[in-house]
Structures are given as C-alpha cells and as structure tokens.
A and B are shown apart, each in its own frame.
Chain A
Amino acid sequence: MRRGPTACRRFGVVGVVVALCGLMLGGGCTGTQYYERERLQDPAMQFDTDAGFTFIRHKTEAAREGSFGGYGAAAAGGCACQ
C-alpha cells in the first residue's frame, strides 16, 4: 500500500522523536568524569575552530551545496541565490 504524504510526514516526526529519545537514553550513562576531559577540552577537539572561516564557508558554499551547514547557523537569508 502506498503511503500518503501525511503518513510520511508523521513517520518522519516519529522517527526524529525516537532518535532523540534514543540519544538521551544512551547519553544517560556518564561517559567521562570531569577529570578525564583534558583532551576533549583542547582546541584540537573543537568541531569548528574558526567562526570567521565558518562564516565565509557558509557565504561561498551554502548556495552551491544543499547539504552544507547544519552546525548551528541558519541555512538561508541574506542572499538572493539561496
């Protein structure tokens, strides 16, 4: 049986909620103690090290590449090509 758009949307929403719940439950077991986080707090472990570069990358690539971003910045606005 073919699913309608409403069913697909509902499935998507349920999927997102289940994934988030799974993450929250999975994260419930403390993975690190505060004294074990020296390496994790080092600048080398930052996902994005340079806000200025993230900005220019969004400006020059966001219009070109659909899947770019998603790490904290709005995906549109400020450029007619987006």
Chain B
Amino acid sequence: MIRRALGIGLFLGLTAIAASAQERPNKIELDTFFFSQRDRGGHPLQAEGFEYYAGRGSLDLLLRPGLRFHLEGTLAYIGNDSSLAVPPTVTNATTTSASANLVTLDALTSLEIKPRGSAWTWRPGFYYHHQSDNQSAGVDLGFTRELNDGDSQLSFTYSVRFDHLLLDFWDGSQRGTADRWTHNVLIGWTELLTPDWKGYLGLQYTFQKGFLEETYNFVPIYDAGGVPRLYVDESLPNDRHRAQVNGRLRYSWATGKSAGLDASVYGDDWHVVHAAIEPSYETRFGRDVRWRVWYRFSVQDGARYFRKRPQASERFITRDSDLGSFAMHSPGATISFPLVNGPRREIRLRITTFGFLRDDDLSGFGAKLGLVWTW
C-alpha cells in the first residue's frame, strides 16, 4: 500500500516536472570560446601553435507538437603561430608558409520530427562550413527508435560531407584545387539499465576519399648525421577507413549527483590506433548550481606513414604530430547556475575550462562562457 502510494506520488511529481519542461520547450544558447595551443615540441621545424576565438549562437524551437527546428552558427577567428626559420642546411627552401590567420563559419540546421504516438523520431539536417581556402557542405539523416517502454533507444545517423579545397602549400606555391568526400555512419544504443544506471554503446564507421593531406605540412629529410637537408610535401593515401567503438556508463546515487565513465577504441587502415578513457563526476549545490569535472586519458599508436627523423622520402610520408604516437591528459570542469529561474523561463550561465597536455610537449588550454535561455 505504502509502495503504491509512493509510486503514485512519484508519478504525480514526474508529471509536474514534465509539464514544467513542456512549458519551456524552446531554447537559445549564446557561447563565446577561447582556445590556445602551445607548441614546445611536436614537429621540431614547424610551428604548431594557434589561438582560436569563436562566438556561437543556437536556436531550438518547438514549431508544433512533434516538430522541432534547430539552427546554429559559429563564427571563429584562428590565429596561427608564425613559421619557424628554415635551417641554413636545408637546400631546397629558404622560407616556409604557415596557414594564414583566418575566419571560419560553421552553420547547421535540422528538423526533429516525431509523429504523434510514434516511437520513431526523424532528424534530417544540413551543414555548411566556409573559410577562404576550404568550403564544406553536407547532409545528416538520422532516426531514433524507442523500445521497451522508453528503456531503450536505438539511433542511426548517416552523414555525408563534401569539401572543396584550395591547395596553398607550405612552400608558398598554389597548386589548384582538390575535393574530398566523407561518409559517416553512427549506430548508437542507449539503455536505462536500472533506476540508477544508464549506458550507451556506439559504433561508428567513417570512409574518406579525396585529398587527405594538410597542405601546410612538410617533412624534413635528414642526413646520417641528423642534419635536416630537404623539405618535402606530406604525402598520404587518397582514402581512409576509420572505425570506432564508444561505451558510456553513468550512475546516480541521488538526484543531481552522478558519476560517469566513457571509453573508446579507434582504429583505421593507416594503422592509427587510439584508446581513451574518461571518468567524470557531477554534483549540485546551493540554488541549482551544477558542477561537473572530468579527466580524459588517451594513448595513440601512430600512423604507419609517420616518420620522426626520416633519411629518405617515401611514397607516403608524414611528420604531422597528430598522426604520431603520444599519450595525452585532458582535464576539464564546468559550472552552471541560474540567473533567472521561473516556471516559464530560465536563464542559466555556464562557464567551462579545459586543457590538454601531451607527452610530445604539445599542450592547450581553452575556456567557454555561455548563456542558455529556455522558455
């Protein structure tokens, strides 16, 4: 009897929460970002540091029951470190070009369609990216199927991207244009395991075809004494098969408090293998102040085309530090609290900091300040 009364009480409480959420189905997000990458290692003859400043706006509107509209745009400025001086021992280059400081635009729009009484939700979307030497456009098609009274969610997303690239190279030459296609399939399963536990398993496959080099990357060729003599272009295959498995678990022992563990394993046919693990913890205190911290540790075994100090050029060769082997530590924290909190609207401030440190002496630090307005 008591259990039944408690059940009815909880049901009424949840109905009230759901009704409250229904009263605030629309959302606007405004974010500003800063990220700085420091280069104290990595490629010894190439500047790999940069600074990234961005502003992002996002709008979610419930147009009518079962139909939601999403629009977001991000405008960013990327300032790259100046090129390093070419050693006088290099015989085929006196200067190198780095990617110019540039402005980028990302835009994304999508619909979320859930017919009345249906367990299916459909999500078509469009994507566009613009920068002076790179334009990208794409389509996203996805669905989610609820199963087992909402305990399970099967999701499927297919994305295709087409990139058009202007080929400005590290030696200052302009070598026409190139294209690249990317196909991405993501299958995800979310499961409410118990009233305290939630899990996710995702499988992702990506196929890329086209120009996959970074034009500003060059590879120094050394002599037997370890002195750099030549700079040559990075050269990589024109296709890449990439696969990834992600697992996520989250546990809550009290409302507003949770701990999670994410793990992923990645491999591709360039022989890059990468594994990562990320525990996180969230708690709530005061007047709905939420605080989450996380720490990500990952290790990568580099591509078979990566050469640290090559003495001869090869058909496929790269010195890109991101395709090499490394271990990385990435901590972060976010705090959010309501500025305005009412039954019909809430304005919440979110502050996030994060960073990374790699054992090849590349590091970075970033911060985000954002407002979320729901009504």
Point out residues on A near B: beta carbons under 8 Å: 12, 16, 19-20, 23-24, 26-45, 47, 49-53, 55-57, 59-61, 63-72, 74-81
Chain B binding site: helix, strand, loop or mixed by DSSP? Answer: strand
Contact A45 B252 (CB under 8 A): yes
Q: Is the CB of B276 within 8 A of A68?
A: yes
The total of chain B residues at the interface (CB under 8 A) is: 106
Which residues of chain A are near B255, meaning CB under 8 Å? Answer: 38-39, 42, 44
B202, A71: Cβ atoms closer than 8 Å = yes
Other-chain residue from A20, A32, A77, A81 in contact with B194 (beta carbon distance below 8 A): A32
CA distance A45 to B197 in the complex (A): 9
- List the 3 shortest-distance A-B pairs measured between CB atoms, nearest first: A77-B161, A67-B266, A78-B129
Note all chain B residues with C-beta closer than 8 A to A28.
Answer: 148
Contact of B58 among A33, A52, A71, A79 (CB under 8 A): A52
B38 on interface, CB distance cutoff 8 Å: no
A70 with B246, Cβ < 8 A, contacts A50-B352, A78-B129 known = yes
**What are 16 A-B residue pairs whose CB atoms fall within 8 Å in the complex?**
A20-B187, A20-B189, A23-B201, A31-B148, A35-B10, A38-B255, A39-B252, A39-B254, A44-B290, A47-B260, A50-B368, A67-B298, A71-B202, A74-B140, A77-B138, A78-B129
A residues in contact with B266, CB < 8 Å: 66-67
Q: Which of A23, A31, A45, A77 contacts B258 (CB 8 A)?
A: A45
Residue of A nearest to B322 (CB): A64
**B244, A52: Cβ atoms under 8 Å?**
no
Is A31 touching B192 in the complex (CB atoms < 8 A)? yes
Is B188 located at the chain interface by the 8 A CB criterion? yes
The answer, yes or no, to whether B29 is at the interface (CB within 8 Å) is yes
- In angstroms, Cα B138 to Cα A81, docked, is 17
Residue of A nearest to B299 (CB): A67
Classify the interface of chain A: helix, strand, loop or mixed.
Answer: loop
- 8 A Cβ contacts from B214-272 to A: 214-215, 242-246, 248, 250, 252, 254-258, 260, 262, 264-266, 268, 272
Q: Nearest-CB distance from A1 to chain B (Å)?
A: 22
Partner of B265, one of A38, A41, A67: A67
Interface centre among A23, A32, A49, A69 (most CB of B within 10 A): A32
Take A35-B14, A66-B274, A75-B242 as given contacts and tell me if A27 and B165 are in contact as well, using a CB distance cutoff of 8 Å: no
Question: Chain A contacts of B204 at CB under 8 A?
Answer: 69-70, 75
Nearest chain A CB to B251 CB, angstrom units = 9
Q: Does B100 contact A (CB under 8 A)?
A: no
Give the interface segment out of B85-93, B114-122, B151-159, B309-317. B151-159
Q: Chain A residues near B356 (CB, 8 Å)?
A: 61, 64
Give every chain B residue within 8 A of A78 (Cβ-Cβ).
104, 106, 127, 129, 134, 136, 161, 163
A49 pairs with B292, CB closer than 8 A: yes
Q: Are B214 and A81 in contact (CB under 8 A)?
A: yes
Q: Contact string, B172-193, partner A, CB cutoff 8 A, digits 1/0?
A: 0000000000101011110111
Contact A60 B364 (CB under 8 A): yes
**Complex formed: what's the CA distance from A29 to B151 in Å?**
9
A residues less than 8 Å from B106 (CB atoms): 55, 78
Interchain CB contact under 8 A, A77 and B152 = no
Q: Is the CB of A27 within 8 A of B189?
A: yes
B328 on the interface (CB 8 Å rule)? yes
Give complex CA distance A39, B364 in Å.
Answer: 35
Chain A residues with CB under 8 Å of B300's CB are: 65-67
